[in-house]
Amino acid sequence: MTANILRSNLELSLDVHKRLITCLPQLTAAADALVAAYSAGHKALFFGNGGSAADAQHLAAEFVGRYLRERHPLPALALNANSSAVTAIGNDYGYDQVFARQLEALAVPGDVALAISTSGNSANVLEAALCARRIGLFTIGLTGASGGRLRGLVDVLIAAPSEQTPRIQECHILIGHALCDAVEQAVVTAECEAIVTAANAGRGREPKLTVGGRLRSIQRHSSARKRIRRQEPA
């Protein structure tokens, strides 16, 4: 009995993951938007409720820390992580404003907002998506198959091909990891190319280079090349 239940869960999850390949065009668009934002010195802001809040924190941490490769930190925030802000805004303005209010305070045009909602209908996520559009953020939505009302409010919707919450959540973390990998590889490649370009310049004063909106010198990057090659496990 127990083995059958476990087998069923694994088989159902694998089936949904196989069908997730149909979302590749949307994943590519989302990854390109994140790379463009980071290259211009912007940040990513994640938000969601419950399990989606956990995913938001998890993915923000991957960008600020690292996913697989050594590289400079990428600015990312999970808006649900500040319990004082969430409860204060919820108490004073209503729970539907807990993410939108923070976007108004923290986001600037050119940033990326990543909204996570298995149903696509969470009121506070929808309000935040509307706010993000007003501010001028690029918006990405992670939902289940239907997309809910969030479908019409974001620039890119990645809809996991399932209506079952556990299967959707499993897809969301895979999507998030895939985005982390794509962005991280682009950033590391840009850093290495910038190092080579600066080194080849070979002029009297040590040239500085810009990667992801941050100034870094050749000397500071010389050791980074060794760390990148090592690719230490997380």
Residues 156 and 121 in one domain: yes
**Token representation of residue 105:** 């305070």
Q: Residue 199: which domain range?
A: 189-230
Is 5 a domain residue? no
Higher pLDDT, 215 or 78: 78
**Rounded (10°) CA dihedral 85, 52, 180, 67:** 80
**What would the pLDDT profile of 39-69 be if each residue is shown by its tens digit?**
999 999 999 999 999 999 999 999 999 999 9
**What would the pLDDT profile of 145-196 be if each residue is shown by its tens digit?**
999 999 999 999 999 999 999 999 999 999 999 999 999 999 888 878 777 7
pLDDT tier at 120 (50, 70, 90 boundaries)?
very high
Residues 52 and 142 in one domain: yes
Residues 125 and 199 in one domain: no
The C-alpha atoms of residue 163 and residue 167 are separated, in whole angstroms, by: 8
CATH code, domain with 92: 3.40.50.10490
pTM for the structure as a whole: 0.84
Looking at residue 215, what is its pLDDT? Answer: 36
Matching residue, tokens 């390949």: 21
Is 12 a domain residue? no
Residues 183 and 193 in one domain: no
Residues 66 and 34 in one domain: yes
List, in sequence order, the alpha helices (H) in 40-164.
Answer: 51-64, 83-93, 100-106, 123-135
**Token representation of residue 92:** 């004073």
Is 127 a domain residue? yes
**Token representation of residue 201:** 């310049």
Residues 181 and 197 in one domain: no
Looking at residue 202, what is its pLDDT? Answer: 65
Amino acid making up residue 56: A
Residues 209 and 181 in one domain: no
Is 11 a domain residue? no
Looking at residue 222, what is its pLDDT? Answer: 37
